[in-house]
Amino acid sequence: MNEENISFEELLNNSMKENQELEKVTEGTVINVSSKGEIFVDLNYKADGIIPKSEYSDDENVDPAKEVKAGDKIKFEILKLNDGLGNVLLSCKRLKSQEAKKEFEEKVENNAIFEEKVNEVTDKGLVVNINGIRVFIPNSLSCGQKDVARFKIIEYNPKERKIIGSCKAVLDEIKEKAENDFWSNAEVGKKYEGVVSSICSYGAFVDINGVQGLLHISEISWNRDAKVQDILTQGQKINVTIKELDKENKRIKLSYEGKGVDPWENINYKVGDIVRVKIRKFMHISQICEERISKPEEKLQIGEEVNAKIIDINLEKKKIELSIKELEGTSNEYSSINK
């Protein structure tokens, strides 16, 4: 009786020891895959392991037979030592889920950028599934992305199942890098292709790699009465050059290649020439006529074309002084001038 008790005890201990050793096993060899998607695994144990299709992947559309074959090594987690049919019940998806979670958390920790297919579009935003991990991207942070999203995780609270992604965070980072690169390499005289981002009464703002530069109206046209909107349009690509640079306050002033050559470089008039001009602003009242008048409007109108005599040319100040009064009593012969 005593011997029988000892034999039973030894048998129980041996069985417990075998179970403890088996529980440490995390990898086996695929024996075969059934038509139902069940994977049978050699565990080097008295019983084989079985991975039901439902325990292979979270994606029910995955066919195990297309991913594994006899002879392949496969990793798993033991669920039960006996599934009721004498097999050891195994699971791949739990192990995959744990590994995926660990990899995901490491990426979040390292502030990594994710690029994933969008699984669902709702009225509030986008839903992305990363190996069973659900990420929500609000519309305000999606930046119009729909099919594939590039994002960072800005809030990670798995206990409350709250994982928030942001496409905007990625674009902001790219923009910041581009701006930093620009300021590191910017210098007066350097040329760029920019995009007109906005137009105002005194000029335009041009976007250069995310940096806004001012293009003053005086740098757009030689015509003092020109209007910016008649020359440039929002979204237009133009070639500009840095004219002034303030890196400390991050301000730049630009010049525009489309302005053309300074017309004063081709001046071929001389003092005494009689020219045909259009009145844009009134000249000094003393040069309008011999008759005494109280204001220029008594004799002239803006937009009117008249003959005038050049009485002074100052190329340094880019100024030509005219007189209508000195033509009184002379002939009507004149040369033309665009001014």
For 130-187, the pLDDT digits (tens) are: 988 899 999 999 999 989 999 999 999 988 889 999 999 999 999 999 899 999 999 9
Closest CA to 171 of 186, 154, 157, 184: 154
Q: Name which of 65-69, 199-203, 231-235, 330-334 the model is least confident about.
A: 330-334
Q: Place 19 in a pLDDT band, splitting at 50, 70 and 90.
A: low
Examine the domain organization and report whether 19 and 84 are in the same domain: yes
Residue 323 corresponds to which tokens in the numbers above?
């007189």
pLDDT at 109: 94
Asked whether residue 102 is domain-assigned, the answer is no
In three state form, how does the secondary structure of 143-209 look? CCCCCEEEEEEEEEEHHHCEEEEEHHHHHHHHHHHHHHHHHHHCCCCCEEEEEEEEEECCEEEEEEC
Mark whether 164 and 211 lie in a shared domain: no
Indicate the number of domains in the chain. 4
Mean pLDDT is highest, among 47-51, 188-192, 223-227, 281-285, for 188-192
276 and 213 in a common domain: no
Top pLDDT among 128 and 339 is at: 128
Instruction: Please report whether residue 28 resides in a domain.
Output: yes
Q: Which of 96, 131, 163 delimits the end of a domain?
A: 96
pLDDT in the model for residue 332: 44
Whether residue 144 is found in the same domain as residue 196:
no
* Residue pLDDT, tens place only, 95-119: 888 888 899 999 999 999 999 999 9
Of residues 24 and 84, which shows the higher confidence score? Answer: 84
Same domain, 192 and 252: yes
Look at residues 259, 292, 317 and tell me which one is the last residue of a structural domain. Answer: 259
Predicted TM-score of the model (pTM): 0.59
Answer whether residue 101 is part of any domain.
no
Please indicate, yes or no, whether residues 231 and 292 belong to a single structural domain of this protein. no
Partnered with residue 279 across adjacent β-strands are none
Please tell me the distance from the alpha carbon of residue 283 to that of residue 298, in angstroms, as a whole number: 13
- Same domain? 16 vs 88: yes
Q: Residue 70: pLDDT above 80?
A: yes
The residue type at 159 = K
Q: What is the pLDDT of residue 6?
A: 53
Q: pLDDT by residue (tens digit) across 232-243?
A: 999 999 999 999
Rounded to the nearest 5 degrees, what angle is found at the Cα of 271, between the Cα atoms of 268 and 277? 70
b/e per residue 206-230 (b: at least 16 CB within 10 A):
bebbebebbbebebbbeeeeeebee
Higher pLDDT, 198 or 289: 198
Instruction: Identify the band that residue 11 occupies on the pLDDT scale cut at 50, 70 and 90.
Output: very low
The number of residues in the chain equals 339
Q: Are residues 27 and 92 in the same domain?
A: yes
> Do 278 and 235 share a structural domain?
no
Residue 18 in domain: yes
Q: Is residue 106 part of a domain?
A: no
Q: Cα–Cα–Cα angle for 77, 83, 84, nearest 5°?
A: 170
Q: Is residue 298 part of a domain?
A: yes
Place 7 in a pLDDT band, splitting at 50, 70 and 90.
low
pLDDT, averaged across the chain: 86
Residue where a domain terminates, one of 240, 259, 278? 259
Which domain does 146 fall in, by range? 111-171
Residue 178 lies in a domain: no
CATH number for the domain including 49?
A: 2.40.50.140
Q: What is the pLDDT of residue 330?
A: 52
Identify whether 103 is part of a domain.
no
pLDDT band at 22 (very low <50, low <70, confident <90, very high): low
| 80, 121: one domain | no
DSSP character string of 60-108: TT--GGGT--TT-EEE-EEEES--SSSPEEEESHHHHHHHHHHHHHHHH
Identify the H or E element spanning 19.
helix 2-23
